[in-house]
Chain A
Amino acid sequence: MPQNYVPIFIFVALIGVLIPVTLLAAKLVRPDNPNKTKLMPYECGIDPVDHARGRYTVRFYIVAILFVVFDVETIFLFPWAVKFKALGVFGLIEILIFLVILIVGYIWIWKKGALEWV
């Protein structure tokens, strides 16, 4: 059993050697003149407004919570999609009921104003 891992250990060893070597080689070869703009974190070309550890509004948490629920519920669609033919009309109706329940939740969130950005 452990001998199966020998290639992996060889890779680990290679990584341990190659990466420092290439980094060091690059450091020795390249020109080095840093300035303020160059050292700025890259955020798709937009200037950063604040540091990343700052506090942000609680609205984001609510969006995140809603996202988590609706995101994970779709996991049930995958097995159904794979066996779509075998499950037939019954499967289709069941999944539609499931989606209707999700939509009821969505309507409730909407009407309660959880999607408004206040």
Chain B
Amino acid sequence: MSASATPLAVEYVRILPELVLSIFGMAVMVLDPLIDERRNQRTLGNIALLGSLAAIIATLYQSQYPGPGFWNMVNVDAFSVFFHFLVTTVTAIVILTSYDYMEVQQIRAGEYYGLILFGAVGMCLMSSAVELVLIFIALEISSISTYILAGFRRRAAISSEASLKYFLLGSFATAFFLYGVALMFGATGSTSISVISQVLRSGQIPVLAYAGIALMFVGLGFKVAAAPFHIWTPDVYEGAPSPVVGFMSTAPKAAVFAVLLRIMFEANAPGRLWLIWVTAALSMTLGNIGALVQDNVKRLLAYSSIAHAGYLLVAFAALPSGGIPAAMFYTASYAAMNVGAFAVVSHFASAGERYVTLEDYSGLGRRSPLLAATLTIFLLSLIGIPITGGFFAKFYVFSAALQANLVGLVIIGVLNSAIGAYYYLRIIVMMYMREPREEAPVPAAPIGLRAALTLTVFATIYLGILPGGVLEYASRSAAELMRQ
């Protein structure tokens, strides 16, 4: 590692999706003030969409050239490609749902699309980074973008309040993560995950390493909204614009779970089992109980996302061979159903996000049968009903946990799934069994939203009927990850 060495061309391919996203993001930012005020929304959205599609292609191209890059800062393997694909696809779908939303809410700001792309850069980088400080920077790129996105309905007081809460608690958590990184650096003399793993596997584990892991877990646990670090979630989800919530409840979470998988399994983090056991059990229980009493659909889905973070963490307590693929499958299917659900919510919300309570959903089955049916599919998937992705996601996680003899945790998880069914069914009952209310109008779905919903419904059903392909890919990448 001499200072004068230049990276090879292939190493640039290994950060190609990030490069593509950054260039398109900057293009959106620069073009925003230059082009016509009234037309720019859609044009900029189109550029951003093009950028995310280009990033998907770059990811597929990149998968041909696995290996380390930039002095072992990043590493492209099947694992990172999986998360790159997930993040860029979610980005594209969120941009599709945003077109209409921005017009209805009368938000004129091209940097919205730029920020989504920059956020995606951070998330992609998180999944391929194998160096703790680079992970920290990537985490901040994605977090800072989402802080701003959360406050995008600037005229609404709750939106800026949500942004403020997210920002304050988010940077608080980041400081914990960074302190963990510092202690890990002190314990092992390196911030490279592979070196840390070697040190931790050979001989005695320094006390500092335990403290470092615990602090990093606090920081990352906050970002995925796992209990007891979940307090911010319902508030931020309620105040932030709905497409943004769809974005930040899936893509950054997937990326942070990728980081957690690398730190917990690849670095062979000491003492992880109890940490995760307690957090998973708490998240599932608090999330589901909290969701029972909510009247606001966005808050309800926020609590549900806490519960889902809990189910996902169950996989982390399992053995690597079963746990990693289960967790990867879960992030993919959760992303599909949650982005879809929030796309429907953002369409129903209408100007000023007025219609977001459970009451407003009454009779939707009659007023807008197709959209109601779509939302029903996502909700059934969130419950975990067979032939949807949510079923196999839960199934793989719990069977991985059973293989690791975590019977107690599995029992808590299954009980929680039963509780969870109640509040998701409440929305479905509202939509189909109640009389429609006059006040809440349902405009016809525009083309962007239709495309987004078709994609997410397809993904949800596909993962529910033919989970084999994705699971097999995930298992292969997990084996690759553990071999390193």
Contact = CB atoms under 8 A, between A and B. Distances in A.
A–B direct contact (CB < 8 Å): yes
B319 interface: no
A111 B4 CA distance: 38
A90 interface: yes
Instruction: Tell me what chain A mostly uses at the interface: helix, strand, loop, or mixed.
Output: helix
Nearest to B5: A90
Given A83-B3, A86-B4, A88-B4, A104 B34 contact: no
Interface residues of B, number: 9
Contact of A87 (B3, B30, B34): B3
A36 interface: no
Contacts of B34: 111
B386 interface: no
B468 interface: no
A30 interface: no
A48 B36 CA distance: 45
Contact of A111 (B3, B6, B26, B33): B33
B470 interface: no
A88 B5 CA distance: 10
A111 to B, nearest CB: 4
Interface in A56-100: 83, 86-88, 90
B292 interface: no
Q: What range describes how many residues of A lie at the interface? A: 10 to 19
B4 A104 contact: no
A54 B26 CA distance: 39
A108 interface: yes
A90 B6 contact: yes
B3 A108 contact: no
B175 interface: no
Contacts of B4: 86-88, 90
A107 interface: yes
B6 A108 contact: no
A101 B32 CA distance: 16
Contacts of A53: none
Interface in B30-87: 30, 32-34
B167 to A, nearest CB: 14
Contacts of A111: 30, 33-34
Interface of A: 83, 86-88, 90, 101, 104-105, 107-108, 111-112
Q: Which 4 A-B pairs have the closest CB atoms?
A: A111-B33, A90-B6, A108-B29, A86-B3
